[in-house]
Amino acid sequence: MTAKEIFDIWYRHDGLEPSVRAELERIKDDPSAIEDCFGTELAFGTAGLRGVLGAGPGRMNVYTVSRASAGYAAYIASKGADARRRGVVIAHDNRRMSREFALTTAGVFAAHGVHAWLFASLRPTPELSFAVRYLGAAGGVMITASHNPPEYNGYKIYNSEGCQCGLDETARVIDCISEVGDPLDIPSLGIDEAAGLIGILDGSIDEEYYRAVESISLRRVDAGDLRVVYSPQHGTGNVPVRRVLADLGYDVVPVEAQCTPDPDFSATKSPNPESPLAYEAALELADKVNADIVITTDPDCDRLGVAARGGDGKLKLMTGNQSGAVLIEYILSAHRSMGTMPEKPVMVNTIVTSDLGDRICESYDVKVEKTLTGFKFIGERIARHLAAHDANYVFGYEESYGCLIGTFVRDKDATQASLMLCEAAAYYKAQGKTLIDVLNGLYARFGFYLDTQSNFFFRGADGQKKIAALTAGLRREHPAEVAGARLVRLEDYLSDETQAEGFPKSDVLRFVFSDGCWVAVRPSGTEPKCKFYYCVRAAGEAEASEKLAALKAAFEPKD
């Protein structure tokens, strides 16, 4: 059917959800908008659903959410009566329609005979992962679009390990979704008519989660001597992060204007900790109250951004690679000094994460394992080692500001990261050091690392084709030498070689040079863009900047 024919079916449907009906009225005389919303379906990918709110199968709305829920419910139900009884845990963030989508999800699962455990209000993504494991549920659903702009929302699925579903499991769920019929006519039950199949989770789960997070603390520090400015970016981190840090005695000064849950993110220029705009209010407040560090969590509280004072007393933003490296150094040095390093320790990060963390681990005789981008791969690696009893996980992180310390959660956890980062800052402050001092000490030991990325957006119907053509072109033709450094290895993650090493097939390229620098290129899994990652190793910042400029000139598209 054409986009207009599908639009007409939706338009004639009685009882449409009011916001969808309003959207249909708005676009009914706009052929391009109809094509955009109804010409293609919003794809359920390896990260679930994520898209702009609106009407039609190409947008996030109660009907696309119902269809995804019906498919996932059918998958859970296919596992038998025990899986249906254990059910799924459902949580949501602060975004537009998040509560409505969570209620819709619960109603569809109940209509399929699958028990749904629904949080009473917004909760962070890591607590959803924790609750799945704590309750012994068969799966979970998180309604969130993370740090995306306000007009977005999303739908992520979790398995019984509390980990985002892996590639094989997601493929089976997608098969089930494809068998769902008319998305406008999917059965759903309200809480009152669900006959006990929808349960509302009380605060006891919160308390268990807070207790588990506080258990990761490695040593006693003078927490009251560390002043921390914190912003939850209008999201889910406000309660858990402030509660945990208060329990441990830290002096936390919140950015009050950014603490209220707000789907429009009204008091922040960006809710994304990767953007300097996210820190403006917090940095201003930190200077007023003479804070030692600034921390901010993204709206679903799975990623942590950090600013710390340098030798000049000024606050400096830290990248995810830098804060991850400092956390590795703190955690491993603490284990070594206290004699608590586990046998066969392993740190897990991704193929686009800086090599600095790897060098630190090598100095502590900690094995490093690599995965593709996506924390579900780190979660899978944790589960594999725990099942085989062949290694002990000590830390995992990505360059995009997400990390995990305690394995009672199997996804990025900014509540845990906040605690450990503050503990590290307090510990080093007692030694007369800031986190920037620690980072500079790591550069002195292992060389200077400049890690950054560039994003190239390709929007529209042919955007994905352009991205595929870009990576295919680099696969065929690429520089053999840049700034005097030879290309010594091309890692193609569509190749038989990388699959033989255990990596799933993925359209990712990684170019490694003789001077230790590398460039990685991959399409984004959640947005219409291609990402170029750079890890530049040099004697100092000036040399690193020159190398980075040369690599960008050699690899990035010219138009």
d(CA 210, CA 316): 29
- Topology agreement, domain 45-202 and domain 210-446: yes
Catalytic residue of the set 66, 69, 146, 418:
146
pLDDT in tens, the chain (559 residues): 999 999 999 999 999 999 999 999 999 999 999 999 999 999 887 778 999 999 999 999 999 999 999 999 999 999 999 999 999 999 999 999 999 999 999 999 999 999 999 999 999 999 999 999 999 999 999 999 998 999 999 999 999 999 999 999 999 999 999 999 999 999 999 999 999 999 999 899 999 999 999 999 999 999 999 999 999 999 999 999 999 999 999 999 999 999 999 999 999 999 999 999 999 999 999 999 999 999 999 999 999 999 999 989 999 999 999 999 999 999 999 999 999 999 999 999 999 999 999 999 999 999 999 999 999 999 999 999 999 999 999 999 999 999 999 999 999 999 999 999 999 999 999 999 999 999 999 999 999 999 999 999 987 667 888 898 999 999 999 999 999 999 999 999 999 999 999 999 999 999 999 999 999 999 987 678 899 999 999 999 999 999 999 999 999 998 7
Q: Is 146 a catalytic residue?
A: yes
Tokens of 362: 């090598």
d(CA 2, CA 269): 39
Please report the pLDDT score of residue 527 as a whole number: 74
Q: Tell me what the pLDDT averaged over the chain comes to.
A: 96
Does the pTM exceed 0.85? yes
**390 in helix, strand or coil?**
coil
d(CA 179, CA 328): 45
DSSP 8-state assignment for residue 539: S
Tokens of 498: 């990388």
The CATH architecture annotation of domain 45-202 reads: 3-Layer(aba) Sandwich (3.40)
Angle at 98 between CA 417 and CA 115, to 5 degrees: 90
**389 in helix, strand or coil?**
coil
Q: Does domain 210-446 have CATH number 3.40.50.970?
A: no
> Could you tell me the end-to-end alpha-carbon distance of the chain, in angstroms, rounded to an integer?
36
Please report the pLDDT score of residue 461 as a whole number: 62
Please report the pLDDT score of residue 47 as a whole number: 79
Q: How far is CA 181 from CA 67, 109, 167, in A?
A: 8, 16, 24
Q: Of the candidates 347, 378, 379, 346, which has an alpha carbon nearest to the alpha carbon of residue 161?
A: 379
d(CA 536, CA 449): 6
Please report the pLDDT score of residue 380 as a whole number: 96
d(CA 476, CA 472): 6
Contact of 17 with 191, CB cutoff 8 Å: no
Count of Cβ atoms closer than 10 Å to residue 551 Cβ = 23
Contact of 273 with 401, CB cutoff 8 Å: yes
Give residue limits of the domains in the chain: 45-202, 210-446, 448-555
Query: With 0-12 CB in 10 A as exposed, 13-18 as middle and 19+ as buried, what is 482?
Result: buried
Tokens of 553: 């000139």
Count of Cβ atoms closer than 10 Å to residue 237 Cβ = 30
Angle at 102 between CA 98 and CA 104, to 5 degrees: 115
Q: How far is CA 59 from CA 19, 187, 336, 405, 489, in A?
A: 12, 20, 51, 35, 41
DSSP 8-state assignment for residue 276: G
Angle at 154 between CA 149 and CA 155, to 5 degrees: 165
pLDDT tens-digit series, residues 350-370:
999 999 999 999 999 999 999
Q: How far is CA 58 from CA 47, 55, 336, 349, 527, in A?
A: 16, 8, 52, 33, 14
| CATH no. for 448-555 | 3.30.310.50
Tokens 């406000």 belong to which residue? 238
Please report the pLDDT score of residue 516 as a whole number: 96
**34 in helix, strand or coil?**
helix
**In sequence order, what are the residues at sequence separation of 6 or more whose Cβ sits closer than 8 angstroms to the Cβ of residue 67?**
177, 180, 183, 186
Beta-strand relationship, 367-371 and 392-397: unpaired
